Amino acid sequence: MKAVLWPRYGSPDVLNVADIDMPVPNDNEILIKTHAATVTAGDCELRRFQIAGWIWLPVRFMVGIRRPKPKALGQEVAGEVIITGTNVKDFKSGDKIFSETGLSLGAYAEYTLLSNKRVMAHKPSSLSYEQVATIPTGGINALHFVRKSNIKKNDKVLINGAGGSIGTYAIQLAKMHGAEITAIDSGEKLEMLKRLGAKEVIDFQKEDFTQKGLKWDVIIDVVGIKSYSKTIKCLTKGGRLILGNPDLGGMLRGLITSKNTSKRVISQLASYKKEDLDYLKKLIEDGKILVEIDKRYPLDQLADAHYYVDAGKKKGNVIIDVGNCREN
Ligand SMILES: NC(=O)c1ccc[n+]([C@@H]2O[C@H](COP(=O)([O-])OP(=O)(O)OC[C@H]3O[C@@H](n4cnc5c(N)ncnc54)[C@H](OP(=O)(O)O)[C@@H]3O)[C@@H](O)[C@H]2O)c1
């Protein structure tokens, strides 16, 4: 089968199309024919190994110490089940499913091997493979951040880094709680943010939200680039700051802020649950959440897709069309 391997960490040029043996599932595994995968910021960070200090070593250990282990990248996948191991009870051959792959990776290939410990769900017939492929990273993390924010009706919510995989879901989920949303990103993405429900938008390339003299009840900081002290000053009394991409310093300072002030700082990572995949797919089915798809690339143009995402142009999600990704 065709797969895109990455024999070393680095620029998108390391991504090489190769012919490799089809994986054979053991008793606890599922082999799917891949229809859609995605390119997330997380895939690009892993490819160049730009990983936060506190998780650098464990992630490096799992993905490959000197060089990446010989398997494809790709952390979100949707496709059709081909074979299941004898211990797999919830899925059978012919089922259409979507899944996270976590650090087991492997979605950039014509067939993806999934452990039955991975969190996966059935694709509804009304949704396409590419729509559901965006749920495991963007959807699940956004849902986690919004739930942790404890948003109340009319709360003023700031979403920093709103134009990407997580942010486009987060705007819509926060809006469902009745929030008044300010969304930050840049350029062409700003129009999309308004369409998804933001009342105000800020272009981070032109303005610094911490210098506007405004305060928000909730700040969901998806990107985590602004200074901690400037960001915390933008919270109202009792406000909540979600560090979506936390470094160790931010996590420690967050603990101190939460202990000593009325403000709460949350940097807990999302955990994957099947019921959350099902919840999000239902919201999309019911038309309550839109999946923003920017571009599609065939598998053998994966490097171009990574260059596009690295260039900061991605609006919502970029799809890798491994075969009929738009099919329901
Ligand atoms: N905590 C967790 O469990 C968890 C899980 C998944 C992902 N993450 C991390 O969260 C981050 C975002 O993920 P994502 O998939 O949503 O990424 P994404 O799709 O790239 O979205 C991030 C958005 O933020 C924008 N941005 C960049 N710099 C900014 C700034 N200074 N101010 C405001 N916006 C800015 C980006 O624009 P440009 O494209 O122009 O740069 C992009 O539109 C990644 O670093 C990822 O690794 C964390």
Which residue is closest in CA terms to ligand 1's atom 25? 161
On the question of a common fold for 2-134+291-321 and 138-266, the answer reads no
Whether 63 and 46 have beta carbons less than 8 Å apart is answered as yes
Ligand 1 probe mutation, 173, 222, 245, 269, most atoms within 8 A of CB = 222
Measured CA to CA, the distance from residue 266 to residue 250 in angstroms comes to: 10
Q: Does residue 136 have its Cβ closer than 6 Å to ligand 1? A: no
What SS3 state is found at 103? helix
Q: Where are the domains of the chain?
A: 2-134+291-321, 138-266
Cβ atoms of 246 and 220 within 8 Å: the answer is no
Nearest to 146 by CA among 219, 245, 253: 219
Residue of minimum CA distance from atom 36 in ligand 1: 161
Nearest atom in ligand 1 to the alpha carbon of residue 160 is: 33
290 alpha carbon – ligand 1 mean position (Å): 19
Q: Is 172 in the pocket of ligand 1 (CB under 6 A)?
A: no
| Token representation of residue 208 | 């610094």
Pairing of strands 216-221, 156-160: parallel
Q: What is the CATH number of domain 138-266?
A: 3.40.50.720
The β-bridge partners of 114 are 30
Q: Which of ligand 1's atoms lies nearest the C-alpha of 309?
A: 39
CB count in 10 Å sphere of residue 73: 27
Question: What is the per-residue pLDDT for 288?
Answer: 97
pTM greater than 0.85:
yes
With a 6 Å cutoff on the Cβ, whether 78 touches ligand 1 is no
Q: Would you state the pLDDT for residue 224? A: 87
Q: Which two tokens stand for residue 51?
A: 């990983």
Count other Cβ atoms within 10 Å, centred on residue 151: 23
- Tell me the average confidence (pLDDT) per consecutive run of 10 residues in the chain, 328 residues long: 96 97 96 98 96 92 94 96 97 98 96 97 98 98 98 97 98 98 96 98 97 97 91 97 93 97 96 97 98 98 98 96 94
Whole-number Å distance between alpha carbons of 287 and 284? 5
pLDDT computed for residue 77 by the predictor: 98
The residue whose CB lies within 8 Å of the most ligand 1 atoms, and thus the one to mutate among 39, 158, 160, 185, is: 185
Name which CATH class applies to 2-134+291-321: alpha beta
Question: What's phi and psi for 325, nearest 5 deg?
Answer: -65, -25
| pLDDT the model gives residue 217 | 98
